Structure 1
Amino acid sequence: MPPAPDPDSRPNDLHLAFTATPVAIRDSLQRMLTLPPLCGLSEDGRGMAELVLAEVLNNVAEHAYANRPGPVTVSIGQTPQGLRCVIVDQGRAMPGHALPEGRLPGSLGPALEDLPEGGFGWHLIRSLTQGLSYTRVDGCNRLQFLLP
């Protein structure tokens, strides 16, 4: 299920396909960080990229594939604006075929110990990326964003 070749792909673009399991995600993230274009980032830039990619890929494993193995591809390319990232999987569609809002609970919301697990990842993803978009085409989810 690799994505179609990107006509704008450059030699230092990264294209990686793996199975969306917790161990494979962790191993693939570590590998991505050692390859261009991620290896050329500052320590802070690599940390931000790792955080966003980990949130996205763990969501794929946990929600799109409901904790069962499934293929995922990651493509990352350098642009003048930052890193263009595209994540493609064949798991379940996002609810309502739309990205979660990712809002944090308000100050008058429930006490910290009463908050549900999760739900903060999309706030983080939205806060650290630009141009975040989601499409579902031919049984595939495609998430695209820019890491400035």
Structure 2
Amino acid sequence: MTETFSCSFRATELDARDGILRVVDQLKARGIPDFRVEEVQIALAEAVNNVVEHAYAGTAPGDVLVRCNLHPDQLWVNINDAGTPFPNGTLPEGKLAEIGDDLDSLPEGGFGWFLIRELATDIRYQRDEDKNQLSLCFSLQLQGPDVRTS
């Protein structure tokens, strides 16, 4: 059986933070293990931050809809917006940014898509008419730092 919940918010930094926290609260209330909720929160924050910074860049902030479909063994998080599509309709590769020895010259960005790709088990993107839909899948099978095997 699939359980669904959603929230929407304006694509501003403050509203996005509040929206992400609402999703996190819903996941915790449904008994998702803490380590998995933390992974979803990181990936969701990176994806929504991209919507705020890039999809609505140069325009008035639009709406973001986050819809979660909770299955017994997986969670799909769908992020919808009416901002600018990804260049060439393709998701970024998610290569880790070059990091040198000089700590003062660490890049400010370049980690988001790497993190999203590391944390999600499946990622899908499509552009329908004037809407972006990014779907992130997370495994809910018992694994992670809190689970021990013998």
The alignment's TM-score, normalised by the length of structure 1, stands at 0.82
Looking at structure 2, the residues matched to 111 and 100 of structure 1 have their Cα atoms a distance apart, in angstroms, of: 26
Shift of 1:26: 0.9
CA spacing shift, 1:63–1:113, aligned 2, 3 Å:
same
Percent identical among aligned pairs is 37
Looking at structure 2, the residues matched to 116 and 50 of structure 1 have their Cα atoms a distance apart, in angstroms, of: 22
Residue of structure 2 aligned with 1:93, choices 73, 85, 94: 85
Q: Does 1:30 align with 2:18?
A: no
Looking at structure 1, the residues matched to 18 and 97 of structure 2 have their Cα atoms a distance apart, in angstroms, of: 33
Residue of structure 2 aligned with 1:50, choices 27, 41, 44: 41
Q: Which portions of structure 1, spanning 4 or more consecutive aligned residues, are displaced by more than 3 angstroms?
A: 109-116
- State the SS of the aligned residue for 1:146: strand
**Once the two structures are superposed, what CA deviation does each residue of 1:20-49 show, in whole Å capped at 9, x if it has no partner?**
1110111112222222x4432122121111
Root mean square deviation, CA, Å: 2.1
Q: Which amino acid aligns with 2:136?
A: F
Looking at structure 2, the residues matched to 112 and 135 of structure 1 have their Cα atoms a distance apart, in angstroms, of: 38
- State the SS of the aligned residue for 1:91: coil
Looking at structure 2, the residues matched to 95 and 112 of structure 1 have their Cα atoms a distance apart, in angstroms, of: 31
Looking at structure 2, the residues matched to 43 and 92 of structure 1 have their Cα atoms a distance apart, in angstroms, of: 33
- State the SS of the aligned residue for 1:34: helix
The alignment's TM-score, normalised by the length of structure 2, stands at 0.81
Question: Which runs of 5 or more residues in structure 2 are unaligned?
Answer: 140-150
